[in-house]
Amino acid sequence: MTLHKEGTASIIIVLLVAGAIMGLSYSLAADYPIVIALGWLVSLFLVIIILQFFRAPSRPVSPEEGVVLCPADGKVVVIEEVTETEFFEDKRIQVSIFMSPINVHINWAPVSGLIKYVKYHPGKYLVAWHPKSSTENERTTIVLETANQTEVLIRQIAGALARRIVHYAEEGKKVVQGGQVGFIKFGSRVDVFLPIGTEIKVTLDQKVKGNVTQLAQLKKD
């Protein structure tokens, strides 16, 4: 299993904690096998949880113009027409994907294109499915412009457990569909804002996989 670079510090901390638990178990309860067994179970549980959270599966993509891939693993919790106020200031179709702690937490570029806009916003830590989380939580907004000048906005949103959003996007640089654009730690959500008229390929409550599930088909000029 490949692990993501963002997990290095967290994995080291958990390994140290697990080692401390085992050390205490043997030093303070050497005559109580059940306590030592419990220490092993707790340590193993912590290590497994942290390793599965920072797993980094390989999902190669053959970029395809007009196709919008899901930027994250999770469940579709919102599909609606909204007014996007940060960048577009007009009507867009919003599709939101909730990422639970057991999902892969890498965020991928749903389309190939030029990175036109990147902005990080500090904020609150409301639960990721809260209606105001998109505008009040810690978040990062990234706008990609495709070859045919269609703009797609991706918003990484921290949840109640997430306390750090990482993004790799830089304005003026190009990104290829399927390339990593960021990572969110410990529960979160990703919103995608698409032009009105885009054909949405997912449904509410559908479980999706980043770089695998087709999210939408952009309208042809």
Active site residues: 188
Q: Are residues 104 and 48 in the same domain?
A: no
Would you say residue 196 has pLDDT above 70?
yes
> CATH no. for residue 85?
2.70.70.10
> Is residue 61 assigned to a domain?
no
Q: Are residues 77 and 18 in the same domain?
A: no
Question: pTM for the complete prediction?
Answer: 0.86
Q: Are residues 12 and 75 in the same domain?
A: no
Would you say residue 131 has pLDDT above 70?
no
DSSP string across the chain = --B-GGGHHHHHHHHHHHHHHHHHHHHH-TT-HHHHHHHHHHHHHHHHHHHHHTB---------TTEEE-SSSEEEEEEEEEEETTTT-EEEEEEEEEE-TTS--EEE-SS-EEEEEEEEE--B---TTSTTHHHHBSEEEEEEE-TT--EEEEEEEE-SS---EEE---TT-EE-TT-EEEEE-SSEEEEEEE-TT-EE---TT-EE-TTTSEEEEPPP-
65-119 pLDDT, tens digit per residue, is: 999 999 999 999 999 999 999 999 999 999 999 988 888 889 999 999 999 999 9
> Is residue 183 assigned to a domain?
yes
Query: Total domain count for the chain?
Result: 2
5-60 pLDDT, tens digit per residue, is: 887 888 898 899 988 888 888 787 777 788 788 888 988 988 888 887 788 888 99
